[in-house]
Structure 1
């Protein structure tokens, strides 16, 4: 029914037409998203697409099997790999370094590598900060939020509060920041070059700019001719400990979504719009679609 209503991409014989390949990394030591969830996600994608999913649960040789919650990429300036080396995750960036383990390199190889063997030597060095471009995400958010009635309703999340209990500017902007980031590798800068576009979403409690610089996507953008787009959530006031993995405290806190998460559980849905976050009508998804349209628009004559 969702496909027939054009709320998700069309399906052919129950299979998505555009999603064909996937890569899943899940450290067994992840305390936020438990280990079985990664396996279940991989099986779901295999059943959905009808194709095998590249599943990676880390390597004891470099400690990536014990890395915990986060994305793993080699190089300096990242969090220590193992929890006992970090002490705790109170100040973590959730970008880990575990030897040569490279989540993005393996992901792009699974998506675009065809039959060639994975070659870690293709990884480019970290880019200078000046090469990470900013874009006006607020303008694209405003194109979605200009609709009436309001597209997001704080009070509907907590029905036992009065309708006028609170309404934050952050929520009215779909919890999205005014600025997003973009990396265009040298191979994609000349006019007329054909390149892919990849959307990289930071995680809960991650600083969007640090994620864009450190998570490893830029290192593989040139080899695979991929423009990397980094949409951004506005930061909140984080909750302590493992709360970043649970939506429940967000409903009880004064500020909804305090950990700066993307809307993976429907916090922008009101009581009469339940399930919208799963479809192309999801407000943040609509903004991201607008970003892709802007990035891929033909250059003016």
Structure 2
């Protein structure tokens, strides 16, 4: 058989391209992610595993005026990393390439409480006096090789500096590896690996919720009855994937929190924020942390809204494992109220507890909106970020030139965490 002539082959290719294009036109467009609904929940609490545990500690301390309690599984004291990745991976955990240096008292709790007091005095976190009213639940497995028990013991000492021991429940006698312990789902209790949920015959989610919220009803024995909503996180942090957060987060709404008649959505409900651990985001493990870590059954029977904000990998080296920022991989203010991830989650919480509008598009009247400084100072203040020695305006991503003390730029804030380059400030 003779091969088709070249002109025929070209015609066949053109016809194929036209057919593929027509088929693509018939595909539905990807729907835009919905906004987080306005709700009026109360009694805010937080919890988390691993980097999520560190994030829960940061949040409970920085926003102590509005947090009822916290549950920490395999985390450590506030500010433990001092913003240094080597300290984070050798002193506060055993996750680095060097020799693990975790030891009793190794995080230097007196130094960390002094740092906390310094931040509070400067107004960059809420007054530490609020911590005395919080309820704190801690869990550390004796077999945890990632955040060994010595780090959690220091966390208990840190909290005891600010509150009575009676406010702290510390479980540390189960041979669990580094994972979220449950009594019905996951790998064997001593397993280290994805999805970092282990069946240890211990319901950590239920225990911590019971400790924070006294008098809960028994958990639901039925399949989840509520609504799981995926929402747009970019409303709370512009360009979130450039700062270690995913484009979307998740909210679980029990039927009793939907609102009906004269009742507003979320009214009379509690709000619990659950921070996943490294490699435990939805991109990595699907909905396993959301639906199988134990929270949902308690939410259904106790009118608890569950907020699951999502971190994301930040390549190439800054944050490949979708950890939360507890060691300054994106933001020098990572542990303070104006830290990018911290402030983003706080805005989500405000949306779910205040029932108001999404974050405003313009700064408050009279607020400072224009800044002239060196590019290095802009980066240090969080108005810009560094990529390979060059500075870029936070939010807009506009290039500002070298990240240096010798190069000066003017930035105008047009929205929370969004700056544009201007010629000069008035």
Q: Take 2:249 and 2:223, find their aligned partners in 1: how far apart are those partners?
A: 17
Change (3 A) 1:202 1:126: farther
Q: Take 1:126 and 1:29, find their aligned partners in 2: how far apart are those partners?
A: 32
Instruction: Give the counterpart of 1:67 among 166, 169, 176.
Output: 176
The aligned runs of 1:130-145 (5 Å cut-off) are: 131-142=227-238
The aligned runs of 1:1-301 (5 Å cut-off) are: 1-11=118-128, 15-17=129-131, 20-52=134-166, 53-58=168-173, 65-76=174-185, 78-83=186-191, 89=193, 92-99=194-201, 101-113=202-214, 122-125=218-221, 127-128=223-224, 131-142=227-238, 170=241, 172=242, 174-190=243-259, 191-192=263-264, 193-208=267-282, 209-235=287-313, 254-269=316-331, 273=332, 276-298=333-355
Change (3 A) 1:109 1:129: closer
Structure 2 residue ranges without an equivalent (≥5): 1-117, 358-426
Q: Normalising to structure 1: TM-score of the pair?
A: 0.69
What displacement does 1:294 show?
A: 1.6
What displacement does 1:228 show?
A: 0.7
Q: How many residues are treated as equivalent by the alignment?
A: 230
Q: What is the RMSD computed on CA atoms of the aligned residues?
A: 2.5
Q: Deviations over 1:104-163 (max 9, x none)?
A: 1110111111xx5x88xx122464498321111122211xx6xxxxxxxxxxxxxxxxxx
**Does structure 2 retain, via aligned residues, the 8 Å contact 1:93–1:207?**
no
**Does structure 2 retain, via aligned residues, the 8 Å contact 1:20–1:51?**
no
Instruction: Say which SS state the counterpart of residue 334 (structure 2) adopts.
Output: helix
After superposing on structure 2, the runs of 4+ consecutive aligned residues of structure 1 that deviate more than 3 Å are 125-130
What displacement does 1:41 show?
A: 0.8
What displacement does 1:260 show?
A: 0.8
Q: Take 1:40 and 1:257, find their aligned partners in 2: how far apart are those partners?
A: 25
Q: Take 1:37 and 1:2, find their aligned partners in 2: how far apart are those partners?
A: 22
The aligned counterpart of 2:13 is none
What displacement does 1:236 show?
A: 5.8
What displacement does 1:18 show?
A: 7.2
Q: Take 2:222 and 2:178, find their aligned partners in 1: how far apart are those partners?
A: 22
What displacement does 1:66 show?
A: 2.0
Instruction: Say which SS state the counterpart of residue 319 (structure 2) adopts.
Output: coil
Instruction: Say which SS state the counterpart of residue 251 (structure 2) adopts.
Output: strand
**Does structure 2 retain, via aligned residues, the 8 Å contact 1:25–1:57?**
yes
**Does structure 2 retain, via aligned residues, the 8 Å contact 1:127–1:213?**
no
Change (3 A) 1:179 1:125: farther
Change (3 A) 1:259 1:129: farther
**Does structure 2 retain, via aligned residues, the 8 Å contact 1:205–1:259?**
yes
Q: Deviations over 1:12-34 (max 9, x none)?
A: xxx32575110000001001001
Q: Take 2:356 and 2:318, find their aligned partners in 1: how far apart are those partners?
A: 39
**Does structure 1 retain, via aligned residues, the 8 Å contact 2:272–2:304?**
yes
Q: Take 1:281 and 1:218, find their aligned partners in 2: how far apart are those partners?
A: 30
Instruction: Say which SS state the counterpart of residue 237 (structure 2) adopts.
Output: helix
Structure having the larger proportion of residues in strand: 2
Q: Take 1:98 and 1:40, find their aligned partners in 2: how far apart are those partners?
A: 24
Change (3 A) 1:127 1:280: farther
Structure 1 residue ranges without an equivalent (≥5): 59-64, 146-168, 238-253
Instruction: Say which SS state the counterpart of residue 181 (structure 1) adopts.
Output: strand
Q: Take 2:281 and 2:317, find their aligned partners in 1: how far apart are those partners?
A: 18
